[in-house]
Amino acid sequence: MEKTFFMIKPDGVERGLVGDVLKRIERRGFRLEKLEMRQIDRASLEKHYADLVDRPFFLGIAEFMMSAPVVMGVIAGPGVVASWRDMLGATNPAEAAPGTIRGDFATAPTGSIIPNIAHGSDSLESAQREIAIWFPEMN
């Protein structure tokens, strides 16, 4: 059974969309294995976005991601990594198709990909790495 990491970002939590996102996960038939609301700390965020820490736009990501609580967890199911990414829609909300989470709910300014409601690991390897960062007890 495949597992992936997901996060409902501060914009999704602040707008009261947690239930809508979780409902879509459950309706798709995925099993919630872990679910927490937490305030992100800078050290964990830097581990999560290790490939972006040295980029000039990382400060904006960090400020946004630490601006309010997030809801994060682990979901499991057949092909969950690719399926969850499909459910999210394009990273840029302006390009996300209707029917996807970002297409239906994201209100990010044109061209912004930071406040795009939710995150999903982009590969099985990333999922394993991200689960280990946020939920080390699951390893």
Check the annotation: does 9 bind a ligand: yes
> In the structure encoding, which two tokens stand for residue 137, read together?
């007890």
119 catalytic? Reply is yes
- The single residue of 84, 88, 119, 127 carrying the catalytic annotation is 119
What residues have CB less than 8 Å from 125, skipping those under 6 apart?
Answer: none
* DSSP code at position 83: H
Check the annotation: does 116 bind a ligand: yes
Check the annotation: does 139 bind a ligand: no
Q: How many residues does the chain have?
A: 139
Residue whose pair of structure tokens reads 């390009």 in the numeric block: 95
CA 113/CA 126 separation, integer angstroms? 19
Q: Three-state SS across 16-53?
A: CCHHHHHHHHHHCCCEEEEEEEECCCHHHHHHHCCCCC
Check the annotation: does 91 bind a ligand: yes
Residue ranges at the known binding site: 9, 57, 85, 91, 102, 116
Residue ranges at the known binding site for ATP: 9, 57, 85, 91, 102, 116
Mind telling me the catalytic residues?
Answer: 119
